Amino acid sequence: TIEFTGALHATVVKQVRLKNPSSKTLMYNAVLVGRDADDFSLPKGNTVTIAPKRQTSINVEFTSRFLRPAEAVLLMISKSVGGIDGATLTFSLKSEVKHMEPADILKCKSPCYEL
């Protein structure tokens, strides 16, 4: 589970590190699914290539629109490269709004009542 914690309307970025222990290149197609998948994004695109014996990180962004917790799933589906397939990876994405910042402060004066 990857947890995104921040203020309402703030963008939180988390990194997911993927390692390739094999001697062949691995390629993944990333897909966001679930109730709140539209609130999460992959700013560097949906395709990830990992060189042999290397690691890479992908950024996952979340921008909160509501006070309720958001949930989605990040699916990393392997694409065949030279007959080599990696395992499908699944990450649970959850958010929590910890505080709110005012967008603006307005001062008003008015009588409490009139006769």
> For the residues 66-82, what does the mean pLDDT come to?
90
Whether 106 is covered by a domain: the verdict is: no
Tally of domains in the chain: 1
Q: Region 29-34: what's the mean pLDDT? A: 95
26 part of a folded domain? yes
| Position 110 in a domain | no
User: Three-class SS of residue 37?
Assistant: helix
Contacts of 42 (CB under 8 A, 6+ apart): 30, 32, 58, 59, 60, 61
pLDDT in tens, 2-31: 999 999 989 999 999 999 888 888 999 999
In a domain, 66, yes or no: yes
Q: How confident is the model at residue 57 (pLDDT cuts 50, 70, 90)?
A: very high
Does 20 fall in a domain?
A: yes
CATH code assigned at 22 = 2.60.40.10
Asked if the model's pLDDT at residue 111 lies above 90, the reply is no
Best CA proximity match to 26, nearest among 84, 65, 68, 101: 84
| pTM, entire model | 0.81
Residue 115 falls within a domain, yes or no? no
- Does 47 reside within a domain? yes
Residue 73 resides in a domain: yes
Instruction: Quote the domain boundaries for residue 83.
Output: 2-99
Average model confidence (pLDDT) across the chain: 90
